Amino acid sequence: MPMQVPAEMTALLADAHAGDAIGNLRLARIAVPMPRRGEVLIRIHAAPCNPADVMYLEGRYGIDRPLPATPGFEGAGVVVASGGGLLARWLVGRRVACGGHRCSGTWAEYCVVRADECLPLTGDLTFEQGAAALANPTTALALAELVARGRHRAYVQSAAAGQLGKMILATTRERGITGIHVVRRAEQAESLRALGAEHVLVSSDADFDRVLAERTAALGATIALDAVAGAMTGRLLAALPPRSEVVVYGNLAAEPCGGIDPMALAFGTKRVRGFEIAGHLAELGLWRTYRLARAAQRRVRRGELATTIAGRTSLRDAPARLGEYVARMSDGKILLVPD
């Protein structure tokens, strides 16, 4: 049976995408959004802050919502109402991981989400685990499959010390695929070596580009997974041998991809292409997406793709606490937990 839903809820709102977008978030009482056919209403129990959320707030993401808007592309909670449709009605009362670009925003007490963008949580997964069990774990599994399906002997990844980078390390290692892991700082390199990474390079080292090219040649790396973009894309492309590719799936540098040699593309038969998990899941279809999400949840439950939680915050305290996350994203995520 549908649960009792209030008329109003507490939510965070962004009024603009300029300046200190996170610091300017405001707490507000707004109407609870109502689901239409094919949509469900979810009572949010936990929602993470991901790099995509930060880029969205700063106006650097490829998705926009009419302002003022509630941020948040991922979360977990209980489906409390359906707007109609077989799948939406079936989900009522179920615990789900949810989100997507078309949701009403998970940084709130309630969120409207398309029914086909909700993934039921297994019974032994908590809401906090489920809140971070969608975007990063499924992306790690999908990128590992991309490397394996392309029969690449080895790969390079940037931002390797981040939460997603560590998941990519874990998923490729279980497939027996060698990785070259690029980080920004020496202490990050040590943390990856402690996890079993053998080939770790620091991008700020003076000889980084030379060593990277030597390592890719020695290991036969023909693909790079780039979460940084900016100048890093060109550096990765230059280091790879002919007939290689760079897959750009993030923009931590907050800059356009640069330093790309057109002649390397033309005569080296190299290419640069994009990857975005929501679009990838849409291509997979509902049932293959469910299978991928189930596989991700199993690994989260076993601790193989666990997300480090650096802290928790109420919606009221979120603007101040999220600044801490932005300063050191690789230390772990901040979870927003509505009261």
Q: What is the dihedral of CA 301, 306, 312, 318, to 10 degrees?
A: -120
Contact 39/88 with Cβ under 8 angstroms? yes
List the domains of the chain with CATH numbers. Answer: 8-133+307-336 (3.90.180.10), 136-278 (3.40.50.720)
Residue whose tokens read 């929501």: 278
Q: What's the confidence (pLDDT) of residue 275?
A: 96
pLDDT digits (tens, 9 = 90+) for 256-289: 999 999 998 999 999 999 999 988 988 988 888 8
Listed in sequence order, the residues at least 6 apart from 275 whose beta carbon sits closer than 8 Å to its beta carbon are: 142, 143, 146, 247, 248, 249
Q: What's the confidence (pLDDT) of residue 2?
A: 53
Tell me how many degrees the CA angle 273-169-211 measures, rounded to the nearest 5. Answer: 70
Q: What is the Cβ-side half-sphere exposure of residue 4, based on CA atoms within 13 angstroms?
A: 1
Q: Is the peptide bond before 48 cis (omega within 30 degrees of 0)?
A: no
Q: Which residues of 132-147 are buried (b: 16+ CB within 10 A; e: fewer)?
A: bbbbbbbbbbbbbebb
Contact 293/97 with Cβ under 8 angstroms? yes
Best CA proximity match to 194, nearest among 226, 229, 160: 160
Please, what are the averages of pLDDT over each run of 10 residues along the chain (339 residues)? 82 84 88 97 96 86 85 96 96 94 95 94 89 90 96 97 94 96 94 94 97 98 97 97 96 92 92 92 86 88 85 91 78 86
Q: What's the confidence (pLDDT) of residue 161?
A: 93
CA dist., res. 197 & res. 92, Å (int):
43
CA dist., res. 256 & res. 279, Å (int):
21
Q: What's the confidence (pLDDT) of residue 1?
A: 42
Q: What's the confidence (pLDDT) of residue 207?
A: 97
